[in-house]
Amino acid sequence: MKIAVAKGDGIGPEIMEAVLKIFEANKVPIEYQFVDMGKWVFDKGFSNGMTPEAKHSIEEMGLLFKGPMETPKGKGVKSVNVTARKTWNTYANKRVFQTLHGVDTVFSKAGIPIDITVVRENIEDTYGGIEHMPTHDVALSRRFITRPGSLQVIKYAFEMAKKKGTRRITCGHKANIMKLTDGLFLDCFYEVAKEYPELKADDVIVDDLCMKLVTRPDQFDVMVLTNLQGDIVSDLCAGLVGGLGFAPSANIGDHISIFEAVHGTAPDIAGKNIANPTALLLSGIAMLRHLGLMENAAIIENSLLYTLESGVHTGDFGDKSIPPVNTTQFAETIINNFGKTPEHGARPLLPNMPVTPTHFHLDENPMLVSKEMSEEKIVGVDMFIESSEQPEVIAKKCQRHAGVKFNLVSISNRGTQVWPTGSIYTNLVNEYNVRFESIDTYPLNQQDVIGLYVSLSGDFKICSSELLNMWGDKKAYSLAQGQ
């Protein structure tokens, strides 16, 4: 099998060399094609952080093993890590957090074992990355949660939990506040849960989830979350087991998958041969299992666990009374410990079942669309306007433009209603949302909305607009706070 390898920036080449040396010593049957990605590629003028040749190679092979990468600051370019995940639709970010004996934490000292798998949606939400400044005082970010995207990652999480023999799968969310976006994700979770009656499926509001994780992490097994919340919870879980240096990461897609270390490039220690390669090695072990190389994965992981139990450590962790080893020595010790069994958490030596790579040559972009269950109708519009006037003044102007098809029903500022009711103590900024609804919920068309837009633009700068849709009798828009 042949895979693409990107060494990364900073400490990336050192830890990648250590991991590949371990693989070579274990006679892992993989051929590597090194590709050009990372900061130095940005510096050469490639705005996405990878050369066209690298992109082609990764798409041909379907698998990328990468070290940590840096995105140049202040150059207006996107993160190469995010770009790679989104470009190739690696919709499920899987991170496994386990107690490692030899890596002391508050919980290991208390005898509380941790074995948590976080599955984070990897494409949507804040990764949409669409931001605007409609006024000089207001910045706006669009948050995309889609039904097809949610179903992809949630189905993966349930299927993985079933194979793992999990006792519990939990959805972390903020649907109590973000009723449409997180609400859609939560609805999809319970929709999929019906297909897996043997699994205990429940949900926890994400702030409560964080508190529970730092008090009783042993209560959790598999968790699935939206992108930003999953990112935060993943790093929290890394802290429970010793830090990002012990946190492997897999980005799983239907056609292409990426295995990587999620920690930083640590430029302050780059080139000193003292970096900890454990996270990248654990990611590589997960990649071997993904490829069906079960025996190779078990031998290497058992050796790593035995090495950690023996007290061997790099300078960033471990017993300070024992001198640390450098990156090369750490890798050599793991190689010398092949065949040894750790006292805790030994992995079974299953036979290799190499997966035959499937090469997909797509002729067009896959389109993910679910079936509409009810008839759609437009019942109004939100107009986001720039103004420093008081709500009553804005309302009088807006009512003049409502015509015979619209009612002005609400004006809000930063999501809080300020007209027709509100409080004089609500601080305002210079962007308002004025909500028009159709008279007697009479269905509207886009021409009606455009006519209102043109009329209203005579008095205000219109920053943006959003249709108020309904499917059947269900409103597909939220209310303002206090509306």
Domain 2-336 fold is Isopropylmalate Dehydrogenase (3.40.718)
Q: Tell me: the pLDDT tens digits for 263-314?
A: 889 999 999 999 999 999 999 999 999 999 999 999 999 999 999 999 999 9
Mean pLDDT of the chain: 93
Structure confidence at residue 214 (pLDDT): 96
- As a whole-number percent, the residues of the chain with pLDDT over 90 amount to 79
Q: Tell me: the pLDDT tens digits for 381-438?
A: 999 999 999 999 999 999 999 989 999 999 999 999 999 999 999 999 999 999 999 9
Do the domains spanning 2-336 and 376-475 agree at the CATH topology level?
no
Structure confidence at residue 45 (pLDDT): 83
Structure confidence at residue 83 (pLDDT): 86
SS3 of 423-443: CCCCCCCCEEEEEEEEHHHCC
SS3 of the chain: CEEEEECCCCCHHHHHHHHHHHHHHCCCCCEEEECCECHHHHHCCCCCCECHHHHHHHHHHCEEEECCCCCCCCCCCCCHHHHHHHHCCCCEEEEEEECCCCCCCHHHHCCCCCEEEEEEECCCEEEEEEEEEEECCEEEEEEECCHHHHHHHHHHHHHHHHHHCCCCEEEEECCCCCCCHHHHHHHHHHHHHCCCCCCCEEEEEHHHHHHHHHHCHHHCCEEEECHHHHHHHHHHHHHHHCCHHHCEEEEECCCCEEEEECCCCCCCCCCCCCCCCHHHHHHHHHHHHHCCCHHHHHHHHHHHHHHHHCCCCCCCCCCCCCCCCCHHHHHHHHHHCCCCCCCCCCCCCCCCCCCCCCCCCCCCCCCCCCCCCCCEEEEEEEEEEECCCCHHHHHHHHHHHCCCCEEEEEEEECCEEEECCCCCCCCCCCEEEEEEEEHHHCCECHHHHHHHHHHHCCCCEEEEEEEEEEECCEECCCCCECC
What is the band of 225 on the pLDDT scale with cuts at 50, 70, 90?
very high
Structure confidence at residue 353 (pLDDT): 87
Average pLDDT over residues 324-349: 95
434: left (phi over 0), alpha (psi -120 to 50) or beta: beta
Indicate whether 333 pLDDT > 80.
yes
Higher pLDDT, 351 or 359: 351
- Sheet with 406-413, side-by-side order of all strands: 416-419, 406-413, 431-438, 376-386, 461-471, 474-475
Q: Tell me: the pLDDT tens digits for 66-100?
A: 999 987 776 666 788 888 998 899 999 999 999 99
Residue with tokens 């830090």: 243
Structure confidence at residue 360 (pLDDT): 66
Ranges of each domain in the chain: 2-336, 376-475
Average pLDDT over residues 329-354: 93
What is the band of 441 on the pLDDT scale with cuts at 50, 70, 90?
low
Structure confidence at residue 44 (pLDDT): 86
Structure confidence at residue 358 (pLDDT): 63
Average pLDDT over residues 465-472: 94
Structure confidence at residue 150 (pLDDT): 97
Name the class of domain 376-475: alpha beta
For residues 233 and 47, give the distance between their C-alpha atoms in angstroms, rounded to a whole number.
Answer: 30
- For residues 9 and 38, the answer to whether their CB atoms sit within 8 Å is yes
Q: Which range has highest mean pLDDT (106-110, 142-146, 188-192)?
A: 188-192
What is the band of 127 on the pLDDT scale with cuts at 50, 70, 90?
confident
What pTM does this model have? 0.91
Structure confidence at residue 27 (pLDDT): 97
Indicate whether 357 pLDDT > 70.
no
- Residue 210 CB coordination number (10 Å): 17
